[in-house]
Structure 1
Amino acid sequence: MARVELRNVWKKFGSVEVIKGVDLDIEDGEFIVLVGPSGCGKSTLLNLVAGLETLTSGDIRIGEDVVNDVPPKDRNIAMVFQSYALYPTKSVQENITFGMQTRRIAHDLQERALADVSQLLHIDQLLDRKPGQLSGGQRQRVAMGRALVRNPDVFLFDEPLSNLDAKLRIEMRTEVKKLHLRLGKTIIYVTHDQIEAMTLASRIAVMDNGHIRQFGTPEEIYENPIDLFVAGFMGSPSMNIVRGRVAGNGGTVIEVSDEEGTVQFPLSPKQAEKVADRLGSDIYLGMRPETIAHRGAHGADGGETFVFERKVDVVEPTGPDTMLVFTLGGTEAIARVRPEEKVKPGEFFSFEVNMAKAKLFDAENGNRL
């Protein structure tokens, strides 16, 4: 296993800055997920760690060694790509052992590694097949097996599940999680899927425009987003963010107005203290869909919950929950309620908000207060 450290890492393609002064400390055995929208720089950052791209400036350290000028084959890393990158004319066995053959690993060691990996990934009955005879999930297992036999210090995954259908993605996500628990190896994993990031990671780095906006545990990222970007990006459905105005005696409520009327969201004393000097100023109120639910959903005391009525625009049953789409502050909002709540589009519904879970964001810079 190995620590991975990035210090003031920059990458430019011509005059375009793709990675902008990234610092990152990854501990031995951590499962780190780089997540962000397309074009944010997450795959480029992974390629820099792999040595597939050269640094413009900064340092990358794997274990005790600075690897800026070390070629990929000597970094003791293994990479699993989105495209599988299997040799179509070679069997599963040949695909897995090909790298060991080129490095002239002893035949008995190849056989032992192949047996261990194929049993671990449940592909031991597929060894004589060609990639064209395999399903997408089986091909990804083979690609993972080819990486595993190298016994690297660090595994790098670049959106390995994005080509799979929804059901298979969930199954393979579980397999990747199990694999990490068994091996305890350091993993850096790139995805644009927030659910994948939340379920797999020990810590998440949320990236945007070449920067890391926030680096923390899934719980920290979800419950305490550092700014509006992280709040809006992480979570599915994402956090409801509505623009309001600080009002009340000493800033005790957030007024949210639109053509359906005004709702005054009461703040806790701790929340009110954060906006006491902003009376009359605009502010963003953030509430995740589960924070807005049906009456009695939160089981909290009266000081933490608040009920308001709104007309329901869309009803989206999902099985265990029902999503209610409505308008708040002129923007679309989503509430997560129990499926027993029978409501139709166009009807009014009494929503209960757990204000203890609500977040406040500065209207100018988007930072959480």
Structure 2
Amino acid sequence: MASGIQLRDVRKTFGATEVIKGINLEIEPGEFVVLVGPSGCGKSTLLNLIAGLETLSGGDILIGDETVGNVPPRDRNIAMVFQSYALYPTKTVRDNITFGMQTRRIPKADQDAAVEEFSHLLQIDHLLDRKPGQLSGGQRQRVAMGRALVRKPEVFLFDEPLSNLDAKLRIEMRTEIKRLHQRLGKTVVYVTHDQIEAMTLASRIAVMDNGHIRQFGPPGEIYEDPVDLFVAGFMGSPPMNMLPGQIRQGSGGLCVAVGSGDTALEFPLPKTGIDATTLSEGRSVVLGLRPETIFAAGTELPGAERFVFERPVDVVEPTGPDTMIVFEIGGKELIARVRPEDARPVGTPFSFEVDMTKAKLFDAETGFAI
């Protein structure tokens, strides 16, 4: 059975420093929630508060219908998987998996049944008699997950479990974790600083910064409709291009003028998606353009809300399926994601086209989306 989690005005201070600043969050039973943010934003501290490894300085935490703020970790019916695996080096894989069951005096037959079930599920049944030192990083992480799974908890907590793995293995393990969640249907709270990991795993993402949650929602919503400049800049790889500019009345309607004087580019605002009634001429704004919305002119389906401009290529970065073109507008460096066959040599003039229906606009003073 899965239980939901409620955080009510949760706070945590270390000395005079407030690390978690009044967080409210409701996680549905069976949901996969990812806490993501830069180092030092408070995401691991928040996870440790849910686990009971840190004590609350204020507020309440509920798992299911039970308030657990003063309940010891062992009595919270949770299981935690750490970045460091935390395996006993002198014990076999089998004994690492069943260690918690042994201390709780679970009958041997039940231990054996749990090991058989979850070692098969995690594809480590052929490793049960080995010790951690004989395993690869990915195998150790599977053992750590097996140890968590045999407890059959209501909630799983993952603290950056894949950060010690190489890129290929990280992708494989990400798929395994997602498959496990789909099969078991348990509530998962997962901490990572990797926003690609967050996007691929989560049913909902909580983007954290400086002890606050900036935005909480499905991955698509976080990516397509960021609430502020921080979320827009943090989610996405490469990140969203940010262009400071001013609202101006152009020949075809309102636009964002980027750059100065006669060389300024006037990006026409889309007819939908941005509330133009709040925009007055001369207002300072930031125009947000995802790299994939800037492409080689004429290569996409024609549309009424496209804007074409030319700039010299500064840097070319092939990535395989795409090529990143780095260029400048008004002293700001931008990245366009184009098809490899559309790339041009450094220094060559390049005709770019922007899908303005995907443009985002932010207030320059507050940073909030308009």
TM-score strictly above 0.5:
yes
What is the one-letter code of the residue matched to 1:269? Answer: K
Structure 2 Cα separation of the partners of residues 33 and 218 of structure 1: 10
Displacement of 1:269 after TM fit?
Answer: 3.0
Residue matched to 2:247: 246
Structure 1 Cα separation of the partners of residues 273 and 115 of structure 2: 58
Displacement of 1:76 after TM fit?
Answer: 0.2
What is the one-letter code of the residue matched to 2:295? Answer: A
The DSSP-based 3-state class of the residue aligned with 1:310 is strand
Residue matched to 1:21: 22
Name which of 264, 278, 281 aligns with 2:280: 278
Displacement of 1:261 after TM fit?
Answer: 3.0
Structure 2 Cα separation of the partners of residues 273 and 195 of structure 1: 30
Name which of 262, 265, 279 aligns with 2:264: 262
Q: What are structure 1's unaligned runs of at least 5 residues?
A: none
The DSSP-based 3-state class of the residue aligned with 1:343 is coil
Structure 2 Cα separation of the partners of residues 260 and 70 of structure 1: 66
Structure 2 Cα separation of the partners of residues 260 and 312 of structure 1: 21
Structure 2 Cα separation of the partners of residues 330 and 275 of structure 1: 29
Identical residues among aligned pairs (%): 68
1:68-147 pair list within 5 angstroms:
68-147=69-148
Displacement of 1:332 after TM fit?
Answer: 1.2
Residue matched to 1:223: 224
Query: For 1:207-240, what per-residue CA distance to the aligned partner results, in whole angstroms no more than 9, with x for missing partners?
Result: 0000000000000000000000000000110100
Structure 2 Cα separation of the partners of residues 310 and 222 of structure 1: 27
Structure 2 Cα separation of the partners of residues 165 and 155 of structure 1: 23
Residue matched to 1:59: 60
Residue matched to 1:161: 162
From the superposition, tell whether residues 8 and 344 of structure 1 become closer, same or farther in structure 2 (CA, over 3 Å): same
Query: For 1:49-88, what per-residue CA distance to the aligned partner results, in whole angstroms no more than 9, with x for missing partners?
Result: 0000000010000001000000000000000000000000
Structure 2 Cα separation of the partners of residues 128 and 228 of structure 1: 51
User: Could you tell which deviates more after superposition, 269-278 or 57-66?
Assistant: 269-278
Displacement of 1:342 after TM fit?
Answer: 3.5
Contact 2:323-2:343 within 8 A present in 1 as well: no
Displacement of 1:270 after TM fit?
Answer: 3.6
Residue matched to 1:289: 291
From the superposition, tell whether residues 66 and 276 of structure 1 become closer, same or farther in structure 2 (CA, over 3 Å): closer
Query: For 1:185-218, what per-residue CA distance to the aligned partner results, in whole angstroms no more than 9, with x for missing partners?
Result: 0000000000000000000000000000000000
Displacement of 1:24 after TM fit?
Answer: 0.4
Displacement of 1:248 after TM fit?
Answer: 1.5
- The two structures, once aligned, show a CA RMSD in angstroms of 1.5
Residue matched to 2:308: 307
Contact 2:316-2:343 within 8 A present in 1 as well: no
Residue matched to 2:36: 35
TM-score, normalised to structure 1's length? 0.97
Q: What are structure 2's unaligned runs of at least 5 residues?
A: none
Structure 1 Cα separation of the partners of residues 128 and 44 of structure 2: 31
From the superposition, tell whether residues 279 and 130 of structure 1 become closer, same or farther in structure 2 (CA, over 3 Å): same
Structure 2 Cα separation of the partners of residues 343 and 259 of structure 1: 28
Contact 1:30-1:187 within 8 A present in 2 as well: yes
Displacement of 1:13 after TM fit?
Answer: 0.5
Structure 2 Cα separation of the partners of residues 93 and 272 of structure 1: 58
The DSSP-based 3-state class of the residue aligned with 1:345 is coil
From the superposition, tell whether residues 291 and 270 of structure 1 become closer, same or farther in structure 2 (CA, over 3 Å): same
Residue matched to 1:197: 198
The DSSP-based 3-state class of the residue aligned with 1:340 is helix
What is the one-letter code of the residue matched to 1:225? Answer: P
From the superposition, tell whether residues 260 and 277 of structure 1 become closer, same or farther in structure 2 (CA, over 3 Å): closer
Contact 1:11-1:18 within 8 A present in 2 as well: yes
